[in-house]
Structure 1
Amino acid sequence: MKLTLRSLLAAGMLLAASWSHAQSADHVFRVSAIPDEAPTELQRKFKPLGEYLEKKIGMKVEFTPVTDYAASVEALINKKVDMVWFGGFTFVQANERSKGAITPLVQRAEDEKFRSVFVTTNKSINSLNDLKGKTLSFGSESSTSGHLMPRYYLLQAKINPDTDLKRIAFSGAHDATVAAVAGGKVDAGALNISVWEKLLEAKKVDPAVVRVFYTTPGYYDYNWSVRTDMNADLKKKLSDAFLALDASKPEDKAIMELQRASKFIPTKAENYKNIEAAARNAGLLK
């Protein structure tokens, strides 16, 4: 009887292990990103990276688009997705909303000193001070590079966008901001320098018509974030996968070009303290 019971227990443990392995194999690792560009562009940018991560973590990887910045925060906190590409401000919001339960995993080297640009078609606008009495478009209200930091630097220049400008608008995305400026809907716009450079390279904007008149100082911005309670082994596999990407290797080149990254580096929550302070100073984080 003892032997039979031991055999049954062993068989039960083997079955449980097999079932657990099958569950793990069937599990989908879901990734999302703040919608700072068109959904089709975000999908295109992520596809090669997703295929690379699948091989590195041994799980199916799927990109799950969200409707707005707030939705990306809620999706990660509520375990609808496993990893999100956040802007610095969105990470701060997620970290505060989750009471410190979000961990920034890696960032591009470029994100240590990220910048925003102000663009215009108006020949009379050549400095931030020239924006007084004019119309301006930001990106999303929750965007670090499309709203928070441009607003911060306007305030630093003693320009209150809510009272000193004729009107402010929110386009929802960086490329939409450029379209609003180019189309004459606003006198100027503020956006992420990376998207601006990409639009120039793709010849989707004419620099003779739409030009940069101010570039901000550098600040910490984007990162890939996960929940702090993520399995440690999986977290390490993800981190190692990003850090192993090498732009000089032909097999990694397409990934890095689409991510507009020279390399990925580790990051930490402390890096975003200045973003948090800027948000509180601008009245965007209570």
Structure 2
Amino acid sequence: MLRKFFGLATIAAAMQTFALSAAAETFVFTAIPDQDETQLVERFGAVEAYLEEQLDVDVRYIPVKSYAAAVSAFRNNQVQLAWFGGLSGVQARRLVPGSEAIAQGVEDTRFRSYFIANAESGLEPASELTDELRGKTFTFGSKGSTSGRLMPEYYLRDAFSEAPEDVFSRVGFSGNHTRTIRLVEAGTYDVGALNFQVWETAVENGEVDTDKVQVIWETPEYADYQWTIRGDVNERFGEGFKERVTEALLNMDDPDLLKRFPREGFIPASNDDYSAIEDTAEELGLLR
């Protein structure tokens, strides 16, 4: 009888430990490092606090050093939610079957890339890409960036019927949009491609010397950033959790929080919204 009692007590203790462990489960998210880390930590630290309040679970934001690291963290279930660009989102969802794009910024349905040029290059704003670009030096952002690499390369190839390496005298990758501005402004590269919002925010904040660097061309619109969530979050955090996360993101309306992105607000997204990005990446050989 005593043995039976201790057996039941052991089972009860184990169940209690399991329950406490489940209750302490942390929901982790990350974001592609498309700007300086300080700016990202400020932005997503605020998102962390917001989601924790809305979801009533422990939430943690972890920064990563590269676009590839963000995709790997998602694939390995180190994070369950990520703020991806169009290309990195497609890559992540391919690696994790059942994962879904659930929310995007209002502006993300009509995103653009800017080509900027150093004043010493002699390049002026134009309505199309011309042979005046030939022989200049050029930098993309990150190799995995939609707005800093994928779409700019697509339009360069479309305009010149050649790879960027055959158009420019030197091609580089800055790593992020903020660094692209700095490198072109300093004259390290004649021309660079970047996210239009990062440029406009930097200009608005007085962080760019527009006497040294200016926008010379902009791409047509395309779909870009989105929140992508793993398909197995309900198994880990409880039935309906994915819907609760989606609702929290769509209801994010704090002006200060939205300004940090910057976005007017968030609207529903689906994997199909990024089929054109996927097709373009396939065409350029950027998908595994």
Give yes or no for the alignment of 1:227 onto 2:234. no
* Counterparts in 2 of 1:234 and 1:17: CA distance versus 1, 3 Å: farther
User: Which letter does structure 2 place at the counterpart of 1:177?
Assistant: T
The answer as to 2:58 corresponding to 1:56 is no
Partner of 1:249: none
Deviations 1:216-257 (A, max 9, x none): 1111101111111211422111111111122xxxxx111111
CA distance in 2, matches of 1:284, 1:21: 43
Match of 1:116 among 92, 113, 128: 113
Q: TM-score, normalised by structure 2?
A: 0.89
Within 2, Cα distance between the matches of 1:235 and 1:243?
12
| Cα distance in structure 1, aligned partners of 2:37 and 2:240 | 31
1:19 is displaced (CA, Å) by 3.8
Match of 1:152 among 151, 154, 163: 154
Which whole-Å CA distance do the structure 1 matches of 2:46 and 2:142 have between them? 26
State yes or no: 1:218 paired with 2:214: no
Is structure 2 residue 102 aligned with structure 1 residue 105?
Answer: yes
Q: Find the counterpart in structure 2 of residue 167 from structure 1.
A: 170
| Residue identity opposite 1:131 in structure 2 | L
Counterpart residue identity of residue 240, structure 1: E
Letter in 2 for 1:281: E
Q: What is residue 286 of structure 2 aligned with on the other side? A: 284
Q: Which amino acid aligns with 2:160?
A: K
Question: Which secondary structure does the structure 1 equivalent of 2:203 belong to?
Answer: helix
CA contact 1:132–1:159 (8 Å) conserved in 2: no
Match of 2:30 among 29, 32, 35: 32
What amino acid is aligned across from residue 250 of structure 2 in structure 1? L
Contact 1:107–1:264 (Cα < 8 Å) also in 2: yes
Give % identity. 38
Alpha-carbon distance in structure 1 between the residues aligned to 2:248 and 2:17: 27
Structure 2 unaligned regions, length at least 5: none
* Residues 47-78 of structure 1: per-residue CA shift (max 9 Å, x gap): 22111100111112211111211111111111
Q: How does 1:132-147 map to 2 (within 5 A)?
A: 132-147=134-149
State the Cα RMSD in Å. 2.2
Q: Residue 85 of structure 1: SS of its match in structure 2?
A: strand
Secondary structure at the aligned position of 1:56 is classed as helix
AA in 1 matched with 2:283: N
Tell me, yes or no, if structure 1 residue 268 matches structure 2 residue 282: no
Distance change in 2, residues 1:159/1:178 (3 Å): farther
Aligned to 2:88: 90
| SS in structure 1 at match of 2:232 | coil
Query: Which amino acid counterpart does residue 133 of structure 2 have in structure 1?
Result: L
Measure, in 2, the Cα distance between the counterparts of 1:15 and 1:112. Answer: 51
1:255 to 1:148, Cα distance in 2 relative to 1, 3 A = same
Residue 125 of structure 1 and its aligned partner are, at CA, apart by 4.3
Alpha-carbon contact 2:64-2:70 (below 8 Å) kept: yes
What is the one-letter code of the residue matched to 1:184? G
Secondary structure, counterpart of 1:285 in structure 2: coil
Aligned counterparts of 1:91 and 1:60: Cα–Cα separation in 2? 24
Q: Distance in 1 between matches of 2:278 and 2:247?
A: 28
Distance in 1, matches of 2:15 and 2:223, equals: 43
Choose the corresponding residue for 1:43, options 41, 59, 69: 41
What whole-Å deviation, never above 9, does each CA across 1:121-146 have from its counterpart, x for those lacking one?
23334442121111110001110000
Contact 2:117 2:123 in 1 (8 A): no
Q: Runs of 5+ in structure 1 lacking a partner? A: 247-251
Residues 23-52 of structure 1: per-residue CA shift (max 9 Å, x gap): 233222211111111222110111221111
Q: Find the aligned partners of 1:59 and 1:225 in 2 and give their Cα distance.
A: 19
- In structure 1, C-alpha distance between the alignment counterparts of 2:11 and 2:244, rounded to whole Å: 27
Instruction: Tell me which of 201, 211, 215 is aligned to 1:208.
Output: 211
CA distances 1:135-175 after superposition (whole Å, capped 9, x unpaired): 11000111000000001111121253121111110000000
TM-score by length of 1: 0.89
Post-superposition shift, 1:97? 2.7
Between the two proteins, the alignment pairs up a number of residues equal to 277
